[in-house]
Amino acid sequence: MGGCDDEKRFPAPAQLSIRLTLMIFSFILLTGLFFFALFRGYENFPFLQYSFNEPGFIWAYIGMSIINVFITLLMEGIARFESWKQNMQETEQLKKTFRQSQLQGLKSQVNPHFLFNSLNTLSSLITEDEQEAEKFLNEMTRVYRYMLRSDDEQLVTLDTELKFIQSYLYLLKARFGDAIHTQILVDEKDLDKHLPALSLQVLVENAFTRSTISRNSPLILEICSCDDQKITVRYNKQIRSQSLIEGVDKELDNLIRKYALLNQPPVCFEEKDTECCCFLPLLDKKEEVVV
C-alpha cells in the first residue's frame, strides 16, 4: 500500500528517485519491525527454549532488506516498461490517426472543368448519335461512381484503377477525337499490386493540362509497367501556358504527400527534350492506415 501511495504522490518520471527512496526506506523499516517482533515473539513460548539471537536477527534483517530492495526495483522496472510500452502504442495510434486525417484531406476532387466539358460532349452526342451518347453516359457514370467510391478506399488494385482510367480516357477521346492517342501496356503480374485510388487519373490529367492538343500535334499518352515495380505515365512534350496548370500542380503535390504518408517510395518525374515521364511506385499488398 505504501508503494502505491508513493506512486500517486510522486507520479512524475523526474520524481523517480524520491519515490524509490521512500519505498525502499519504508520496506526496510517495516522489515526491521517485523523481524524484531518475530524474534522477540519467540521468547514468549518457553517450550521453544529460545532467547533473542542478535547476530541471527541482523543477518535475517540484512538478507530480507536486500530481497525487498531487489523486488522493489524489479517491480518499478516492470511498471516503467509497461508504461513505456503503453505510451509507444498510444503514440503510434496518434501518428496513425494523424496520417489518416491527412489522407482523408488529400482525397482527389472532381475537376469542375472536366465535368462541364463532359456534359457538353454528351449534349452534342445526343443530337448526333444516340447510341454513342448512351455509351458515353455509361462510361461517364462509371467514372464518377469510381471517383465517389474512392473516398472510402485508400488503396486499390492496379487492375481496378486501369478499368477506371480506360473509362476516363474514353471520355477524353470522345471530346478530343484524333487529337489524342493512348496506349496501355501493363504486365499481368502487376495487376494485383496496389496504389492510391485515382493516382493514374491525376497523372493523366497532368499530361492533358500541361500539353497543347490538336489534330496536327496530337497528345501521345502511354501507360506501361516498369521493371522496378513502378507504373509509368509517359507523354510527348507539348508545353502550354503555365497559368493553366496551377490546379493540377496541387493534385500532384497531394499525390506525392499520399505516398509519403503511406511510407512508400516517392513519385518521380523525369523531363526530357521530347517527352515527360511520371513513375508511380506499386505496392505489393494493401497496407491500409488503420485507426
Lowest average pLDDT, out of 82-86, 235-239, 246-250, goes to 246-250
Chain segment 241-268, per-residue pLDDT in tens? 654 555 567 778 888 888 887 788 899 9
In this predicted structure, the answer to whether residue 207 has a pLDDT above a threshold of 70 is yes
Chain segment 34-75, per-residue pLDDT in tens? 777 776 676 667 666 666 667 776 777 787 778 877 777 788
| Alpha carbons 124 and 136: distance in angstroms, whole number | 11
The domain locations on the chain are: 2-105, 112-281
The distance in angstroms from the start CA to the end CA of the chain is: 38
Q: Report yes or no: 177 and 140 within 8 Å, Cβ to Cβ.
A: no
Binned at pLDDT 50, 70 and 90, residue 107 comes out as low
Q: What one-character-per-residue DSSP string does 168-233 give?
A: HHHHHHHHHGGGEEEEEE--GGGTT-EEETTHHHHHHHHHHHHB---SSS-EEEEEEE-TTSEEEE
In this predicted structure, the answer to whether residue 191 has a pLDDT above a threshold of 90 is yes
| Alpha carbons 61 and 186: distance in angstroms, whole number | 79
Instruction: Please identify, in words, the CATH class of the domain defined by 112-281.
Output: alpha beta
Q: Quote the longest CA-to-CA distance of the chain.
A: 121
CA angle, residues 10, 13, 14, in degrees to nearest 5: 85
Q: In this predicted structure, what is the pLDDT of residue 114?
A: 74
